[in-house]
Structure formats: C-alpha cells, structure tokens
Structure 1
C-alpha cells in the first residue's frame, strides 16, 4: 500500500472556503476507499475534520501561515528532511501552494490562475509572486490536475513547460446531500434573481446589476438577491440612483440549507463571470432545480453546458433580453430546470474520486 500525503496547507483552520471544503471532501472520500495509506496535512485539527477523515488518516497539523511565500520557501527547503521519499511515495498538493520538494513523487491540483487570467485583481508584485510560486510548484510536480478543461487549458497556456503533465478531473458539489430549509424572510418563490459569490473583478456583477435595473420597472415585484460580500457596493451603486435599493437583498454567512432553499426558489441564478476556475454555484443551482443564466466564457460555459442559457458577459443588452424572457415565460423556466438537472448528472463524486485515483496510480507508476 502506497503512502500518500494529502496536503491542504493554505486554508485557515475552520474557514469553510471553497478550496478547503473541496480538499477535505476529496480527502474524506479517498480515505474511505482505503486504497492507500493516507496522511492529511493542514491547519485543521482532528476535531474540526469529518470523523471518517480524522480516524482513517494520520493527521498532521501545521501552524497558521503568516507570510505564505516565506513559509513555502521553508517548506521547500525542509521537504526532503520532513517528508522524505523514504516516508512518502506521493506528496499530493490539494491546491497550488504546496510542496515542491520531498516525497518520491509529487502531484498538484490547480483550481484557478486568476493572477494570469484576471491580472487586474492583483498588484504587480503579487502577480510576480504568484507566478514564481506556480512555476516552481508546477515545474516540480510529476502530475498536475486542473479542475476543469478551462483551467487545464489556462495552465498549459501560461506554463507551457508543464503542459505535458496536465490532466483534467472535473469537480463536484459539496451540497449534494443538503436538504433545503426555509427561505429568508421577505422572499417568495420565483420572486428574485439570485447571484452567489463574493464580489470580485472577475465576477462581473456590475453587468448583472445594470441588467436588473433595466428590467425592474417592468417587473415591480422582482428582487435581486446577492449572497456574499460586496465591499465596493457594486450592486447598491447601480441600483440606488434608480431608486431601487429596496429591491436588493443582501445575505452573508448563511448555512447550506438556506442556500439550497435560495437556489430552489429563485427565478434564476445569474453567473456573469469573465473568468472562473470551475463555478460550483452554477452546478449547485442546477441540482436544486434553479434555472441558470451564465457567461459563455471559461469554466462557466463548460460547467453550465446545455443546462441553461449562456450569454456574452460583455453584452448587457443580451443579459437584459434573457432576463426578460425568463421572467415572463414559465414554460421556458421549466425547460431550463429540466435541462439543468440533466446537465448536473454529468458530474458526480464517484467520477471525481475515480479520476483522482487514476491520477495517483499513474504518477506512482511513473506514467
């Protein structure tokens, strides 16, 4: 039985971000299959992890990361001593901020490369630092896994020296077993357009805010609900000048049953992103029976597939027209729900874990 270190070093303990949730769930499922002898390395203590993972793998807890570049350099310098080939057959980085040394072989998951694809999100120094880290970690990984074909393509384009070692394993949602709860007060079924994500430049939520503001006078009972933080008041700044502040709902820190209810009862979910590494909200919405309208670019078009209506995320007129159609046509919405369910069946945790186990076997055998 091969000895595999599952390395999830960057997410802070207890913070349920997307990478942390994915890495922990993937690790739990790999451990349950029991094909290898696993160690799980992270900032999370055993009592913060799912019991199957905490009991089925050796747990290595690391201190909080204060300056990740310096910490990474120390990890790389110490890797051959702290995690040598005599102890680990594979060091499996569950995100890109991982081992570049140590172990007999190394494999790394890439979730996105925003610093290349959306450079305006980063300062020049931050871009240089991220590119350096990725060049070193990916350059010294024997296998690289992109979580979507779009992400794999971006890795090959921006890191051509590593292109031959890149493969794709599609992800899946962590909400598959969630039972929807009750809607937050003030919301009714079909009475709101939904957006889910922290507002960042790549999310392009200003386009959605403008499109909603245009259709709002013709659909006076319709609201726009945003789940996530919006430090720059992107939505409010577009709606307030038109007297539409009262039509904006803002939610943060909600639990999974509430999010599932929001998906289930929304008029539609809109994802206007310019770039995504995967886009879990799109898959989650389709699973819970929500009509989806999504950007045709990068991974959103790939994940959304035939399950909704794609659009050019630079064309506000196109999004406005789609929202008018969706709001006015119940038959169209029903068709979108049916197509969304069919599309979501392309993704499964069984297929995801199968893909990673094949990747692990291949890298261990030198393929």
Structure 2
C-alpha cells in the first residue's frame, strides 16, 4: 500500500505519541508498504531509521501556520502522491482530503473530555474541535487501548462498528551502558523513577507528597528521580520540592535521550506512574521490559497496560501512593514477584504485531471507502 501519514508529531523531541508514529511507520515500511510522511516543517529528531520513506517537508512553523498547512498544503500533497490510504496518527484528519482517499484516525485518549483541567487551553480546544470530525469522517478508528475504545464508544456510540483496538508496541531503547546520566545527576542509590512530561495529568504533586510521607530512613536509601521535559501549570517544581523538605532526595534530570532513558530504567527499583488519566502509558511497558515493576493508577488504561506487573493505587489518595511505594521499596519478596511478571508483561507488546494489525485496518478502510 501507499500510505500517507500526517507526521507533525515527528517535528519536535519525541514523547509518547511521537515515538508511536515513528515506530509504527518503521514497522509499516519494513513490511513492504510505501510510506509518505507529511511534515509542516523540518524535524528536529534524527529520522534516519525511516530512510525508505518519502518525506514531504513544508515551511509552516508555528501553531497557526501548522493548522493551515494541515487543511491546505497537506491534502494537496496527498492527492498528488496518489496514496491508497491516509492515516492521522493523533486525533486529526485534514478536512479537505480528497473524498476518494480512504482515511484512518488513531485516538490515543480523550483527555479533553475526562481530564480537561489538566490540559493547556490550546490543546484542549484543538482536541475538542478537531477530534470529533476526524472520528466521524474516518473509515476506521483505531484506539490504542480498550479503555480508550470504551471512552470513544461511550461518547460517540454510533461509530462503534468502525472502532478497532491496536495496541502500540514496545520500543527497544538504545543501549544505555555507556550513559553518564546517573553520575551526572548524583543518582548514587536505589530510586523510584518517574518518566513523562511534567504536566498536571501526570499527578506529580501527589507523587511528591507521597514520597515526602515516607520515613526519612526509607528516603535515605531511595531517591525519587523525575525524568521529563518541562510541561505546564506545575508552578515552580523545585520550590515545591524544597517546601516538602525532600530536596536532598529528589533528582530532576530534564528531558533525556533514549540511551540515558534506557540506563534510568535498567537501574530503577520501581517506576511510579500515578497519572490521573492515560490513554496507554509507554513508561509502564518500557520499565517492564527490563524487569522493573510499577506503581500505577487504578483508572483508565493503566490496569489494562500494567497487567499483573504493578501495584494499583487511587491517584487521588496520597497516603495510598506512599504506602505502595514503601512496599515496593522494602518488600523484596513482593518486588521479585512483580519483577518477574514485569518481563512477561512487556512481551505482550510488539511493533511488528502492531504494524501488521494496523495494515489490516488500512485494508479494511480501503474496502469501506470503495464500498
């Protein structure tokens, strides 16, 4: 198939959705499909792993210009390339796409509906206004988890027949054996690892308060390492850490590249991901792949993705988060049991399988548009 893809999520540093787009594109290309990537501007990340793809790079930097690009330049390029199917991998489809072109949209989450207060206004408006028309105009809808599929089905029951669940795969992160991230950040003992953009939905405030509730004797041997780029509406994180009097025991690494992230996962005692809402949750399976168990929330997709490799907590209950953190830090029997299950859980997710299932969805969309 000739597959056209809205690749705007590959422009910036790769976070969850960007990594999803990159890996899915690579899997689709490796299985013999012809990939056309449409980007509003030159990408920052190294996309050499997609060397077999055709890139259509425009000069539409900035939010407003990118929006205009998506509904003018991109549809024209897709029509000229005579693609067999168009894929919007993140909640959007061009409104002016040639009506003969089959189209598929992936929905990662419905944060705008379920956790609107945790979003930036611009992102909330974008999803609220653009996700619905993409869902209704698509020939097939892909949800990244059963939880997300249920959310879509509840909000838009009439689209249930064209709704499919295709799990993302597990990315094999670059070997971090030569990484200096631990030494550079003074990480010199066991630690709880948080990975993600520093934004309200990730529930960092409650995580910090839960960590502060641990006995000093526990914190002395268990750092809290926060790895992620600065997001929004968290105020001064360092000031909050100082106010909780846990500054000596917390490390803020900022955004880290894959090699450093691999090293952080490999050495972690546990992953802490007590998010308020997630459509999937890549850190859960990335940690699981190296035998690291998780503490995560009992809401949305997290129980589904974590399987039996995590302790589940109410993300609004600081004491519950703290208690679970303490158990995973101190109970070696429990930790070993969950670590063993973690590796098995990671094996459930494969990009090769994901790409194969996505290709089947594209074929179904082509058949639906012809019919």
One fold, TM greater than 0.5? yes
| Correspondence for 1:352 | 354
CA displacement at 1:47 relative to structure 2: 10
- Segment of structure 1 superposing worse, 98-107 or 205-214: 98-107
Q: Which runs of 5+ in 1 are unaligned?
A: none
SS class of match (1:115): helix
State yes or no: 1:15 paired with 2:17: no
State yes or no: 1:130 paired with 2:132: no
Contact (CA 8 Å) 2:278, 2:301: kept in 1 or not? yes
| Correspondence for 2:53 | 57
Q: Which has the higher contact order (CA 8 A, sep 6+)?
A: 2
State yes or no: 1:119 paired with 2:121: no
Contact (CA 8 Å) 2:144, 2:168: kept in 1 or not? yes
Contact (CA 8 Å) 1:32, 1:52: kept in 2 or not? no
- Segment of structure 1 superposing worse, 283-292 or 80-89: 80-89
- Segment of structure 1 superposing worse, 245-254 or 160-169: 160-169
Structure 1 residues 99 and 44, CA gap change in structure 2 (3 angstroms): same
Aligned positions, number: 361
| Correspondence for 2:225 | 225
| Correspondence for 2:89 | 94
| Correspondence for 1:108 | 105
CA displacement at 1:237 relative to structure 2: 4.6
CA displacement at 1:143 relative to structure 2: 0.7
Residues 255-299 of structure 1: per-residue CA shift (max 9 Å, x gap): 222212211212211111010111111111111221211111112
Structure 1 residues 79 and 294, CA gap change in structure 2 (3 angstroms): closer
Structure 1 residues 255 and 75, CA gap change in structure 2 (3 angstroms): closer
In structure 2, C-alpha distance between the alignment counterparts of 1:120 and 1:188, rounded to whole Å: 37
Contact (CA 8 Å) 1:5, 1:41: kept in 2 or not? yes
Contact (CA 8 Å) 2:88, 2:105: kept in 1 or not? yes
SS class of match (1:64): coil
Q: Which runs of 5+ in 2 are unaligned?
A: none
SS class of match (1:225): strand
| Correspondence for 1:187 | 187
In structure 2, C-alpha distance between the alignment counterparts of 1:280 and 1:251, rounded to whole Å: 19
In structure 1, C-alpha distance between the alignment counterparts of 2:112 and 2:156, rounded to whole Å: 13
CA RMSD of aligned residues (A): 2.7
CA displacement at 1:330 relative to structure 2: 1.7
Contact (CA 8 Å) 1:202, 1:274: kept in 2 or not? yes
